[in-house]
Amino acid sequence: MSHTFLEQLWIAHYVIMNGMAMTVSISLLAILAGSVLGVFVGLALVYGGIVLRLLVRAYTDIIRGTPVLVLVLASYYVSAAVGLDLGPFSAGVLALAVFCSSHVGEIVRGALQAIPKGQTEAAKAIGLTFTQTFTSVLWPQAMRQCLPAWVNTAAEMVKASTLLSVIGVAELLLRTQEIISRNFMSLQFYFLAGGLYFIVNYGIEHFGKYVERKTALPS
């Protein structure tokens, strides 16, 4: 790296740090909100009545079949059109959380349906309620099965956070583009931004592996 690049990096490091902090905030909020909502989506797909299942199935199919950029733009402009002044940040996080929930819902559904029905029947036979059965028997197993796919979804949310730049959210990509517009060092700063995104996703991957080890059944 040239001395000139290091000088420009020093000049822009606060801007990069602010963009990085914004990206992490967006990703965490979207992942947390989307994961919580996704659990309920998965429960509805497995245990809901036929009407609820049909409605939730339509929700997941439509959201999963819609590009994330379209969801981001719709969340921002439609909310403004109906009088909800969410602002770019909230609208963007909402769009990512909704997209995340549809994927997490399918992950949870698949994990729950993979558990043998005999375990639920055995829990009923010993007098456990559905809530007790779910929290003590089903969910611990489902969570272990969900984890690898959930980590992939979380990593996708970090990458999807770049799309919020189109509605003016000052996340890492937009901040990087602002820096490049001043110093024209596109290769160096895009490479730097890519490295920072890699670090975030690398951390998510290793967090997932850590949780997987902690929740693994003893062999």
Quickly state the pLDDT bin for 2 (edges 50, 70, 90).
low
What pLDDT is recorded for position 209?
A: 87
Judged against a pLDDT cut of 70, whether residue 181 lies above it is answered with: yes
What is the spatial distance between Cα 84 and Cα 53, in angstroms, rounded to a whole number? Answer: 29
Of 2 and 21, more confident: 21
pTM: 0.90
Is 15-215 a domain of CATH 1.10.3720.10? yes
Give the residue-averaged pLDDT of 193-204: 94
Domain boundaries defined on the chain: 15-215
Mean pLDDT of 214-218: 71
Q: What is the pLDDT of residue 135?
A: 86
The residue among 216 and 20 whose pLDDT is bigger is 20
User: What are the pLDDT digits (tens) for 89-125?
Assistant: 999 999 999 999 999 999 999 999 998 888 888 888 8
Among the listed ranges 51-60, 116-125, 165-174, which one has the minimum average pLDDT value?
A: 116-125
pLDDT above 70 covers a percentage of the chain that reads 97
To the nearest whole number, what is the mean pLDDT of the chain? 91
SS (H, E, C) the chain: CCHHHHHHHHHHHHHHHHHHHHHHHHHHHHHHHHHHHHHHHHHHHHHCCHHHHHHHHHHHHHHHCCCHHHHHHHHHHHHHHCCCCCHHHHHHHHHHHHHHHHHHHHHHHHHHHCCCHHHHHHHHHCCCCHHHHHHHHHHHHHHHHHHHHHHHHHHHHHHHHHHHHHHCCCCHHHHHHHHHHHHCCHHHHHHHHHHHHHHHHHHHHHHHHHHHHHHCCCC
**Averaged over 57-73, what is the pLDDT?**
96
Rounded Cα gap, residues 19 and 175, in angstroms? 6
Cα first-last separation, the chain: 49
The reported pLDDT for the residue numbered 199 is 95
**pLDDT computed for residue 219 by the predictor:** 56
